[in-house]
Chains A and B, each alone.
Chain A
């Protein structure tokens, strides 16, 4: 288990101080880099087995005990209908506290590996149409960091367990 602070790399912070920026924690999945709002991240922990919940979608790996609270764990690969993952030593769970109209919920997402923390100027986030891409609703926008693309996720969309 490592903390967010350790992951913060200084070279990214200097870039845009004047413009309003948002910080994103990024992780790797299927060679692509995805980002989540760092303010929603509660902690990052290693993958350990969860209690499966019957009659739930396949991408819900189960529930874990997070200091007395029951927290569902979602496999993001499963949610995006990517290939089945191999859980290895780098597999981590990002515990997110997702705010929505009626309050907030805590959820863990399983990702391949944590990558970095970036400051993203809000104006640089590009909203692109994705046609009938099923996963488009999870995507807030795209941003280019160090010449490669980062996909920023819209977290509240993950709360609909359909």
Chain B
């Protein structure tokens, strides 16, 4: 009868995270003054399912905590309690708290309950505080008023519950013993349960997955009816539940009840303290939250090493189109099969047609399969409204976040890895970029700063823009810091882009004070490295007083690449097509030699350093370089390099295979692939290549400018 529930855990986590996202989004959208019922309902429903799910799977810590959250939400929903800023902050922190509890559980750790306990008492304080004040009509002192509700209930109403579940109860994921345990908890173990075996069939007729038992439950304690209702809430449709009240005349029970009074008093007193000064508490919440984010993040990193099977949600459209294509493929295959059975030379034409059809089908199929991994970037973007809200409140800045292009799709792997660098950039924009409101007004700018996030596709890449209308990068200060840190000489003259580029150097920070948000100077170089590890690039432009703009360029996917095949000696190498600017026939007169070592090619109005692929890759080449060698001009990080190859072969899509998996990282090579004939060809790492070329074009540029 035991069903292994752990098989559903992954689904539960995913659904819960989705629910939490929905809660967070709803809370952020909500207008505190006039909350929309629909939004509150959405939040409530999400909390409710998380509670239900976590209870079912035995994650009681989560269920208990979510329960108090839900109780508060329920009051808001039913209009018994007005929404206010402090409640909203508390709810947002709770969302984080539930998320971190779930993450702990998912990683197989024991969840850290300190924050949950702390928040829970805050919730209880709000809940009790409100009910106390609502009942304290008149000038009743607190002792009287808390005694009152207990006295009301303590009048001695117990409950008899007749619980006859349907046979299929267990299949819906409900577990009666769990419900009894919960009842025992709310009634402080003043509970009697007796099972009714009448329905039990003979052993041969029994279906082991059915529930034949019925129960009679007696609760000898005055508790709130709603607490009982809640226990049965999930099974009410699958069972016959009759709850009858009876008078408790047993005096010992009365005593027990009066003992219970002690605790609520203490709570009510503390809640009054809280409600006298709700403002400081409200201010405290977000600060605590951001401060606590750091350790939580570190934890999440440590967890990344634990193996987790991730899954992906695919829209039904994509699946349908896949099925269509497979259908077509099968038709083409059977057509070719028939053709092959009685083939003669007159049918060559049809064979060719069939093969063309097959190629078409395969390519479409491949594209659709790749599309499954593509997800809209809104999955990343959606976390930023919260971030901007929290950070700007901590800093007392007013900031609008404008999102556009949320539906731009990119590969799931890329998306998972781009989140952290983006968080960093946005925090930077808020912390360093946007000025304080008074400074902004003095500068003639609107009080509220704007951070814009934009994503779009551009020639096989996804481009993500992060733009703010803040102070912009301070060129003088960057330069000065760079000189202090010994990154550049005092005498060096640098172009604007080169100065901005300095912020990506390790250990570079111009922030006057190190805050817990940013300014430690450990950030931008890591951002660039992370992005480079995704084969992407980042560039920055800025105008003093107007703002800064960061542009991240990433490949759409990591698994497949449009490649240009080239031949050097007997070897075939592959260039990523996106990095190729142009390919030209080498003309001797256009080649100049700089300082006896580096060749540069004069390409219209610029000089491009040249590398001989056979030299740096030590490929055996018998004949001396012919005059009609071909130069493939590639570009990365804004630098161009001319690569001399023997021959251009075709272009094709290649599947990227790791070379490091069984070997090691090789300079100048980013991976390998398998060609149509089964042999291995290596993929050229264009950015590595430009480093190997020795002289970078930028140096040549500045040499020219200096001259």
Contacts and interface: CB of A to CB of B under 8 A. Distances in A.
B662 interface: yes
Interface stretch (A18-26, A49-57, A109-117): A49-57
Given A56-B666, A63-B672, A68-B674, A51 B661 contact: no
B681 to A, nearest CB: 7
Interface string B93-105: 0000000000000
A65 B679 contact: yes
Contacts of A35: none
B667 A55 contact: yes
A69 B664 contact: no
B659 A70 contact: yes
Interface string A9-50: 000000000000000000000000000000000000000001
Nearest to B677: A65
Given A51-B682, A55-B666, A161-B663, A70 B672 contact: yes
Interface string B666-696: 1111001010001111100000000000000
A60 B669 CA distance: 15
A70 B666 contact: no
Interface in B331-383: none
A161 B664 contact: yes
B658 interface: yes
A71 interface: yes
A69 B571 CA distance: 19
B427 interface: no
A51 B666 contact: no
Interface residues of B, number: 23
Given A64-B680, A65-B674, A54 B663 contact: no
A59 B663 CA distance: 13
B616 A69 contact: no
B662 A106 contact: yes
Contact of B668 (A54, A60, A69): A54
A69 B655 CA distance: 12
Contacts of A68: 657, 674
B666 A69 contact: no
A137 interface: no
Contacts of B681: 51
Contacts of B672: 51, 63, 70
B590 interface: no
A53 B681 CA distance: 9
A60 B668 CA distance: 17
Contacts of B669: 53-55
B459 interface: no
A62 B669 CA distance: 13
Nearest to B568: A54
A107 interface: yes
A63 B663 contact: yes
Interface in B576-613: none
A105 interface: yes
B657 A69 contact: yes
Contacts of B522: none
B619 interface: yes
Contacts of A65: 674, 678-680
B617 interface: yes
Contact of A69 (B617, B619, B661): B661
Contacts of B679: 51, 65
A107 B662 contact: yes
Interface of A: 50-56, 60, 62-65, 68-72, 105-107, 161
16 contacts: A51-B672, A52-B571, A53-B663, A56-B663, A60-B663, A62-B680, A63-B680, A69-B661, A69-B662, A70-B659, A70-B662, A105-B662, A105-B663, A106-B662, A107-B662, A161-B664
Interface of B: 571, 616-619, 657-659, 661-664, 666-669, 672, 674, 678-682
Closest 7 CB pairs of A and B: A54-B617, A51-B680, A72-B663, A70-B672, A105-B662, A65-B674, A70-B657
